[in-house]
């Protein structure tokens, strides 16, 4: 089928948040029925905005978005909004429909089975749909987000970072589902291996031209193609720069000779102008954050944290587990376990100082990277958020750290709630650098983060000299970090 016969077609579509921030400029692309596409672009490029345009939440400023009649579209969001955390599961699914759906429970059971979240215990199933959304773990919420899109049985499924918070089993289950899925899927994700498992093409949101480039092939092939094109553009420009320099030198030489040589000099300058016009705008590939370190505050005691017990969730019931854990300065502890076992709940309680059996040494500052960023004030500007955690509030120092995390002068004036999830993550890391914590608690710190930044973040965490507790479902990331001890919440025999 030709691209012109697409299920969804953008014809000269332009959209801007305001007159200074264009997202798309005359974008043209087409998605055919049954396609499985990846949407690429750096953090803040406008990928979620493009999803909102496809789904009709936003309207273009110029151009046309043509969607085949009777086509239904559903979006699996990145995160569950805070105002939906107090809903029951049943009410959460009911919100996906514009009108009342009677006898919705069988539909919920069907999609929970698809996302591997339906309990096997019949006694647990009875009250399962009355549980509050906020009581589910981050990984379980990720599955609920996917299920909430699937329950609409859409023709087009738009998935925004669907692997965030999923454990390895969850990612494998989602990958197999997408391989077998017969309808149209467009996915935003920074998990390269996950994308390559099912992708048939890529839509690349070019932040320099503000257009959408369309490529065929699997994810890894397209990334190589884009890299090769960038290198070709750079080589062409390098050659033209050489020609420009040589001709300028010749033009100056002949101009100084006077007489008929001035005509030769004029021709040389015309040639320089021609070469300048032939130079291509080399795309700004996703920029990578600068190398950084998270300083530990001076005077951190040897024994930072003592823990005599913790809670785990088994068969949807909380259970106290005795332990004897002492986390010392410079030690890195990884906490592992499947989705729903209680990892995030444990980190939250440790970060707040209210965990059962917890004792944090006096005067230790805790830096908490929370997976949903809800410990950031979304009404604050980035500027005020970063400055507020500094002991010595030096504007120049704050801006220098922010720049290293690609937070420019425009972004620093923006309210945190208006940032993309990836940009919020970079703000959270900049905040930790300025906070200088003695105890660092990290809950899925690679969520939403561009894959180019991840090795830089891993290097910083590997070198961190304070006490650290880490939860991550990304083994390639954890392998780059020194881990001294592992606490397995699912360890048998407890």
Lowest mean pLDDT across 90-94, 266-270, 289-293, 319-323: 266-270
> Does 15 score more than 80 pLDDT?
yes
> Does 282 score more than 80 pLDDT?
no
Do 58 and 187 lie in one domain? The reply is yes
Does residue 384 fall inside a structural domain?
yes
* pLDDT attached to residue 492: 57
* pLDDT attached to residue 332: 97
Does residue 165 fall inside a structural domain?
yes
* pLDDT attached to residue 280: 52
Summarize the confidence of residues 262-280 as an average pLDDT: 66
Q: What is the pLDDT of residues 409-459, one digit of tens each?
A: 888 999 999 888 889 999 999 999 999 999 999 999 988 888 789 899 999
Do 309 and 171 lie in one domain? The reply is no
In angstroms, the first-to-last Cα distance of the chain is: 57
Summarize the confidence of residues 374-385 as an average pLDDT: 94
Do 325 and 439 lie in one domain? The reply is yes
Residue 249: pLDDT band by 50, 70, 90 thresholds?
A: confident
Does residue 210 fall inside a structural domain?
yes
Largest CA-CA distance found in the chain, in angstroms, rounded: 100
Does residue 37 fall inside a structural domain?
yes
Q: Name the domain boundary from 180, 195, 223.
A: 223
Does residue 229 fall inside a structural domain?
no
Q: Name the domain boundary from 189, 223, 257.
A: 223
Q: What is the pLDDT of residues 333-351, one digit of tens each?
A: 999 988 888 888 889 889 9
Residue 327: pLDDT band by 50, 70, 90 thresholds?
A: very high
Does residue 70 fall inside a structural domain?
yes
> Does 378 score more than 90 pLDDT?
yes
Summarize the confidence of residues 46-51 as an average pLDDT: 89
Summarize the confidence of residues 95-111 as an average pLDDT: 88
Summarize the confidence of residues 379-392 as an average pLDDT: 94
Do 204 and 97 lie in one domain? The reply is yes
Question: What's the pTM value of the predicted model, to 2 decimals?
Answer: 0.68
Does residue 269 fall inside a structural domain?
no
> Does 353 score more than 90 pLDDT?
no
Task: Give the whole-angstrom CA distance, residue 50 versus residue 27.
Answer: 10
Residue 4: pLDDT band by 50, 70, 90 thresholds?
A: very low
Do 219 and 309 lie in one domain? The reply is no
Does residue 237 fall inside a structural domain?
no
Residue 20: pLDDT band by 50, 70, 90 thresholds?
A: low
Lowest mean pLDDT across 151-155, 226-230, 391-395: 226-230
Which of 225-229, 324-328, 341-345 has the highest average model confidence (pLDDT)?
A: 324-328
Summarize the confidence of residues 454-474 as an average pLDDT: 94
Q: Name the domain boundary from 223, 258, 274.
A: 223
Domain that holds residue 464: 303-488
Residue 371: pLDDT band by 50, 70, 90 thresholds?
A: confident
What is the total count of domains within the chain? 2
* pLDDT attached to residue 402: 95
Task: Give the whole-angstrom CA distance, residue 228 versus residue 225.
Answer: 5
Q: What is the pLDDT of residues 481-494, one digit of tens each?
A: 999 999 999 885 44
Do 217 and 327 lie in one domain? The reply is no
> Does 98 score more than 50 pLDDT?
yes
For residues 225 and 399, the model is more confident at 399
* pLDDT attached to residue 420: 85
> Does 476 score more than 90 pLDDT?
no
Summarize the confidence of residues 89-94 as an average pLDDT: 93
With a pLDDT cut of 90, the percent of the chain lying above it is 42
* pLDDT attached to residue 3: 42
Q: What is the pLDDT of residues 160-210, one digit of tens each?
A: 888 877 777 888 888 888 888 889 999 988 777 888 888 889 998 887 788
Do 212 and 361 lie in one domain? The reply is no
Do 440 and 314 lie in one domain? The reply is yes
Which of 251-265, 315-329, 353-367, 397-411 has the highest average model confidence (pLDDT)?
A: 397-411
Summarize the confidence of residues 218-224 as an average pLDDT: 81
- Relative to beta strand 439-443, strand 366-369 is parallel
Lowest mean pLDDT across 50-59, 209-218, 453-462, 485-494: 485-494
- 3-state SS string over the chain? CCHHHCCEEEEEEEEECCCCCEEEEEEEEEECCCCEEEEECCCCCCHHHHHHHHHCCCCCCEEEEEECCCCCEEEECCCCCHHHCCCEHHHHHHCCCCCCCCCCHHHHHHHHHHCCCCCCCHHHHHHHCCCEHHHCCHHHHHHHHHHHHHCCCCCEEEEECCCCCCCHHHHHHHHHHHHHCCCEEEEECCCHHHHHCCCCEEEEEECCCCEEEEEECCHHHHHHHHHHHHHHHHHHHHHHHHHHHHHHHHHHHHHHHCCCHHHHHHHHHHHHHHHHHHCCCCCCCCCCCCCCCCCCCCCCCCEEEEEEEEEEEECCEEEEEEEEEEEECCCEEEEECCCCCCHHHHHHHHHHCCCCCEEECCCCCEEEECCCCCCCCCCCEHHHHHHHCCCCCCHHHHHHHHHHCCCCCCHHHCEHHHCCHHHHHHHHHHHHHHHCCCEEEEECCCCCCCCCCHHHHHHHHHHCCCEEEEECCCHHHHCCCCCCEEEECCCCCC
Do 103 and 200 lie in one domain? The reply is yes
Residue 2: pLDDT band by 50, 70, 90 thresholds?
A: very low
Summarize the confidence of residues 102-125 as an average pLDDT: 83
What CATH number should be reported for the domain holding residue 95?
A: 3.40.50.300
């Amino acid at each position: 089928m030709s691209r012109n016969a697409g299920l969804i077609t953008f014809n000269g579509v332009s959209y801007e948040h305001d007159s200074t921030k264009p997202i798309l400029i005359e974008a043209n692309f087409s998605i055919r029925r049954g396609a499985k596409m990846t949407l690429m672009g750096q953090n803040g490029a406008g990928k979620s905005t493009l999803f909102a345009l496809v789904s009709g939440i936003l309207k273009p400023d110029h151009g046309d978005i043509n969607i085949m009649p009777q086509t239904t579209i559903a979006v699996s969001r990145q995160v569950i909004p805070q105002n939906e955390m107090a809903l029951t599961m049943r009410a959460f699914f009911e919100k996906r429909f514009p009108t009342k759906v009677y006898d919705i429970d069988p539909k919920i059971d069907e999609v929970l089975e698809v996302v591997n979240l339906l309990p096997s215990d019949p006694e647990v199933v009875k009250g399962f749909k009355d549980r509050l959304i906020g009581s589910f773990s981050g990984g379980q919420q990720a599955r609920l987000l996917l299920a909430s899109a699937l329950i609409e049985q859409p023709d087009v499924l738009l998935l925004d970072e669907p692997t965030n918070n999923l454990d390895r089993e969850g990612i494998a289950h989602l990958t197999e589902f997408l391989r077998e899925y017969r309808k149209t899927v467009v996915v935003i994700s920074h998990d390269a291996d996950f994308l390559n498992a099912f992708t048939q093409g890529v839509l690349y949101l070019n932040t320099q031209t503000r257009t959408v480039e369309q490529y065929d092939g699997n994810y890894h092939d397209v990334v190589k193609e884009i890299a090769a094109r960038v290198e070709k553009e750079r080589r062409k420009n390098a050659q033209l720069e050489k020609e420009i320099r040589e001709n300028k030198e010749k033009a100056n030489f002949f101009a100084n000779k006077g007489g008929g040589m001035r005509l030769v000099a004029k021709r040389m300058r015309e040639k320089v102008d021609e070469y300048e016009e032939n130079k291509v705008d080399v795309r700004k590939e996703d920029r990578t954050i600068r190398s950084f370190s998270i300083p530990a505050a001076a005077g951190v005691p040897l024994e930072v944290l003592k823990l005599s017990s913790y809670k785990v969730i088994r068969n949807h019931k909380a259970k106290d587990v005795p332990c004897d854990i002492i986390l010392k300065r410079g030690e890195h502890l990884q906490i592992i376990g499947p989705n729903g076992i209680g990892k995030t709940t444990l980190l939250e309680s440790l970060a707040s100082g209210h965990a059962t059996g917890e004792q944090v040494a006096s005067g230790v500052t805790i830096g908490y990277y929370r997976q949903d960023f809800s410990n950031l004030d979304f009404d604050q500007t980035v500027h005020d958020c970063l400055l507020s955690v500094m002991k010595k509030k030096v504007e120049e120092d704050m801006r220098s750290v922010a720049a290293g995390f690609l937070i420019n002068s425009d972004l620093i004036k923006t309210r945190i709630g208006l940032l993309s999830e990836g940009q919020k993550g970079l703000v959270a890391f900049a905040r930790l650098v300025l906070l200088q914590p003695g105890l660092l608690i990290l809950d899925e710190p690679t969520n939403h983060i561009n894959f180019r930044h991840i090795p830089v973040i891993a290097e910083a965490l590997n070198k961190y000299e304070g006490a650290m507790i880490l939860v991550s479902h990304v083994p390639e990331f954890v392998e780059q970090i020194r881990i001294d001890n592992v606490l397995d919440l699912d360890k048998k025999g407890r």
